Amino acid sequence: MSRTFSIAVLPGDGIGPEIMEQAMRVLERVSEKGDVKLQLQSYDFGGAAIDATGEPLPAATLKACKEADAILLGAVGGPKWGVGRVRPEQGLLAIRKELDLYANVRPALFPSESLLEHSPLRPEVARGTEFVVIRELVKGLYYGDRKEADLDAPNAKGEAYDMMVYDKADVQRITRLAAFLALQQSPPAKVHSIDKANVLATSRLWRRVVTETIENEFKDKGVEVDHHLVDSAAMVMVSNPRKLNGIVLTENMFGDILSDESSVIPGSLGLLPSASLSELPTGKEPAKGLYEPIHGSAPDIAGRGIANPVGTILSAALLLRWSLGMAKEAAAIEQAVRKVLDSQEIGGFGLRTGDLGGSATTKQVGDKVLEVLDTLL
């Protein structure tokens, strides 16, 4: 008996609709070829939702996301909406909180070895980089109490503050997810915990709870952890990124910065996927998650059909693997993408968009991925 899953699709802004079209084609092909049926429905989100309804996360969109088995997002934001009172990015913060998407997962690797030449790092430094940044996503500075500075009031002191708050349970659950993902590799991947324990009280809590959780619950399964100060980790990430291979675990703000730093190693923001999860992706039951490419909305190239859809297609693969338990289909998509990107010298097609020095259009990349995928499903 075939199963049916519902996927809420949020194309968003800028190049979002263009790259989402290709990812949807891939998911529709998986649905056509297999026993599992995927129902995809699109909803307004971000700037597009502001234009349509006046708010970045309309009630109808939030309801659909809560009811769906998984969510696929294109891109959000753009200069059209500026930094005013109502902003597209507010929708992202709200949906993370509403769905308790507490763990952001960003792989940092090369979808194809042929892309080493596009890395800003020397090939001998970048080669073999393969780690996953896990960022706590719903606590810390971005969600703590804050005070805006009132610089216009008479005799104003001009003081502002943001509070960073974590408790033991917050750190335990993100550590357990990091350890779970470490155990998906054989032998288990090493967990590198990043903090600023020499300065911050929250980091000292973080370091102790991470250590105790790994030792008490996962050490006998082979999971090991070490600790790095965030400034040191930032230097290692560009000087010898392989030292961080495995799982990089950190809190919200540090993770925001380090995941952006790591994302440039493969040479293009258009290549990499990400996931925001609300539970362990065991594959046994649907695990709620929001999946999106790591890049922004790129309004400067929106509507031109030249955006790289690979990050969105690979996000769809992560969705299948982690939220729907469809690991075989996810691996087939990843293999198809690798074949499309691989150089002709090693048996691939070498088809690449402008960000990778090629001239292929968004649709041409999507067409070729589907062509290869048909041979794998």
Question: Which residues are identified as catalytic?
Answer: 142, 196, 231, 256, 260
SS (H, E, C) the chain: CCCEEEEEEEEECCCHHHHHHHHHHHHHHHHHHCCCEEEEEECCCCHHHHHHHCCCCCHHHHHHHHHCCEEEEEECCCHHHCCCCCCHHHHHHHHHHHCCCCEEEEEECCCCHHHHHHCCCCHHHHCCCCEEEEEECCCHHHCCCEECCCCCCCCCCCCCEECCCCCHHHHHHHHHHHHHHHCCCCCCCCEEEEECCCCCHHHHHHHHHHHHHHHHHCHHHCCCEEEEEHHHHHHHHHHCHHHHCEEEEECHHHHHHHHHHHHCCCCCHHHCEEEEECCCCCCCCCCCEEEEECCCCCCCCCCCCCCCCHHHHHHHHHHHHHHCCCHHHHHHHHHHHHHHHCCHHHCCCCCCCHHHCCCCCHHHHHHHHHHHHHCCC
